[in-house]
């Protein structure tokens, strides 16, 4: 990705901060006899939040990549919100990831990150001092529901009842991706310009395009729809941070599937930074004229 961005945009400074190191908490007991690794994920979220906060504070457009969404999204959006309290979030995913620890049936925290970030859901999450110790990231920065746009095929009670704008794949089919993005920006930035945090789960694409991921869902975005989303977000000039998640090489059935998924992820991120589907073109300050000062009229006639 770094080499691709450097080649696409000469003069653009690309910093690779390297991998973040996380501590696995020993004997990390289940929360509510169901939620797995709550302390480990909570501490990892703090590490991610600190890293993203530093990057944004230095005026950089932050880009995070992870094989799993839970610790990344909670941490990256919390860290971003430290520097940009009025940010808006666009969540592109095959899943809303908005369960709370008390509504989750699987106990997997990767299905719960949005609930930890929304102010309106804080009284639905564990609030005791013991719970805050288990989920330290849930006590940091919150965002208002109005600022979250979810492009997801999954409907849920929470989305319907907490004034969260979302579009299902059926609505994308009905309205078209252009109209969906117009409504997204109208809702997100209709009254004021605000920094945008894009969380893009590769499983939002149809599994035929991105097979090396954890929870694929048939009937996802096409390549053109996914690129249009990121191109339009770039065109706002307000993108401040992007997460690319659920690219998991261990889940590809073949090297071809792994490479296809990775290439797609690189395309999505590059489009966020301004890559277009029109291809690379030679830059001209002005159009050249037919004649050259180095050739006579006769030489020009011979050449013609």
Per-residue model confidence as pLDDT tens digits over 66-96: 987 767 888 999 999 999 989 999 999 998 8
Report d(CA 85, CA 91) in Å as an integer. Answer: 17
Q: DSSP states of the chain as a string?
A: -HHHHHHHSTT-------PPP-PPPTT-PPBTTTB-SHHHHHHHHHHHHHHHHHHHHTT--EEEEES-SHHHHHHHHHHHHHH-TT-EEEEE-SS-----TTT-SS--GGG-HHHHHBGGGGGGS--SHHHHHHSGGGGS--B-GGGEEEE-S---HHHHHTT-EEE-HHHHHHH-HHHHHHHHHHHHHSSS---EEEEEEGGGB-TTT--SSSS--TT-B-HHHHHHHHHHHHHTT-EEEEEEE---GGG-SSHHHHHHHHHHHHHHHHHHTT--TT------SSPPPS--TTS-HHHHHHH-
pLDDT at 292: 55
The predicted model gives 179-205 an average pLDDT of 92
pLDDT at 52: 95
- Kindly indicate the confidence band of residue 209, based on its pLDDT and cuts at 50, 70 and 90: very high
Q: Which residue has the higher pLDDT, 255 or 34?
A: 255
The predicted model gives 10-32 an average pLDDT of 86
pLDDT at 138: 43
pLDDT at 141: 60
Is the predicted pLDDT of residue 121 greater than 90, yes or no?
no
Q: How many domains are there within the chain?
A: 1
Report d(CA 27, CA 3) in Å as an integer. Answer: 41
- Kindly indicate the confidence band of residue 2, based on its pLDDT and cuts at 50, 70 and 90: confident
Beta bridge partners of 62: 241
Residue 157's domain comprises: 1-9+30-273
Q: Does residue 284 sit within a domain?
A: no
Q: Does residue 126 sit within a domain?
A: yes
pLDDT at 299: 65
Q: What are phi and psi of 144, to 5 degrees?
A: -80, 150
The predicted model gives 221-249 an average pLDDT of 95
CA 263-265-266 angle, 5° bins: 65
Q: In what order do the strands lie in the sheet with 88-92?
A: 62-66, 239-245, 196-201, 88-92, 148-151, 165-167
The predicted model gives 242-249 an average pLDDT of 94
Report d(CA 133, CA 149) in Å as an integer. Answer: 29
Q: Which residue has the higher pLDDT, 182 or 96?
A: 182
Q: Does residue 239 sit within a domain?
A: yes
Q: What is the pLDDT of residues 248-277, one digit of tens each?
A: 999 999 999 999 999 999 999 999 998 888
Q: Average pLDDT over the chain, rounded to whole?
A: 84
The predicted model gives 225-253 an average pLDDT of 95
Percent of the chain with pLDDT over 70: 85
Is the predicted pLDDT of residue 5 greater than 70, yes or no?
yes
The predicted model gives 35-59 an average pLDDT of 90
Whether residue 153 contacts residue 97, with contact meaning beta carbons closer than 8 Å, is answered with no
Is the predicted pLDDT of residue 3 greater than 50, yes or no?
yes
Report d(CA 12, CA 24) in Å as an integer. Answer: 36
Global confidence as pTM = 0.86
Q: Does residue 285 sit within a domain?
A: no
Q: Does residue 23 sit within a domain?
A: no
Report d(CA 250, CA 265) in Å as an integer. Answer: 15
pLDDT at 15: 85
Percent of the chain with pLDDT over 90: 43
Whether residue 212 contacts residue 257, with contact meaning beta carbons closer than 8 Å, is answered with yes
**CATH code (residue 213):** 3.40.800.10
Q: Does residue 21 sit within a domain?
A: no
Is the predicted pLDDT of residue 149 greater than 90, yes or no?
no
Q: Does residue 286 sit within a domain?
A: no
Is the predicted pLDDT of residue 244 greater than 70, yes or no?
yes
Q: Does residue 213 sit within a domain?
A: yes
């Amino acid at each position: 990705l770094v080499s691709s961005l450097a080649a696409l945009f000469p003069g653009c400074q690309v910093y690779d901060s390297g991998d973040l190191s996380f501590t696995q908490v020993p004997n990390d007991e289940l929360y509510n006899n169901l939620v797995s690794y709550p302390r480990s994920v909570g501490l990892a979220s703090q590490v991610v939040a600190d890293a993203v906060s530093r990057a944004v504070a230095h005026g950089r457009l932050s880009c995070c990549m992870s094989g799993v969404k839970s610790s990344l999204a909670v941490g990256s959006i919390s860290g971003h919100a430290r520097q940009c309290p009025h940010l808006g979030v666009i969540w592109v995913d095959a899943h809303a990831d908005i369960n709370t620890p008390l509504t989750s049936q699987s106990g997997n925290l990767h299905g719960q990150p949005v609930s930890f970030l929304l102010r309106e859901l804080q009284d639905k999450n564990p609030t005791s001092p013991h719970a805050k110790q288990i989920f330290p990231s849930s006590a940091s920065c919150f965002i208002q529901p109005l600022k979250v746009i979810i492009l997801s095929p999954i409907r849920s009670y929470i989305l319907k009842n907490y004034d969260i704008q979302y579009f299902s794949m059926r609505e994308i089919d009905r309205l078209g991706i252009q109209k969906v993005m117009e409504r997204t920006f109208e809702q997100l930035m209709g009254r004021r310009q605000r920094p945008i945090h894009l969380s893009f789960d590769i499983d939002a694409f149809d599994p035929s395009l991105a097979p090396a991921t954890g929870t694929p869902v048939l009937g996802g975005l096409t390549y053109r729809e996914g690129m249009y989303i990121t191109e339009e977000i770039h065109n706002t000039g307000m993108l401040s941070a992007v997460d690319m998640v659920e690219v998991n090489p261990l889940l590809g059935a073949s090297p071809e599937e792994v490479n296809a998924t990775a290439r797609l992820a690189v395309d999505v991120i590059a489009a966020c930074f301004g890559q277009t589907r029109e291809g690379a073109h030679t830059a001209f300050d002005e159009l050249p004229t037919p004649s050259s000062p180095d050739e006579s009229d006769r030489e020009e006639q011979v050449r013609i």
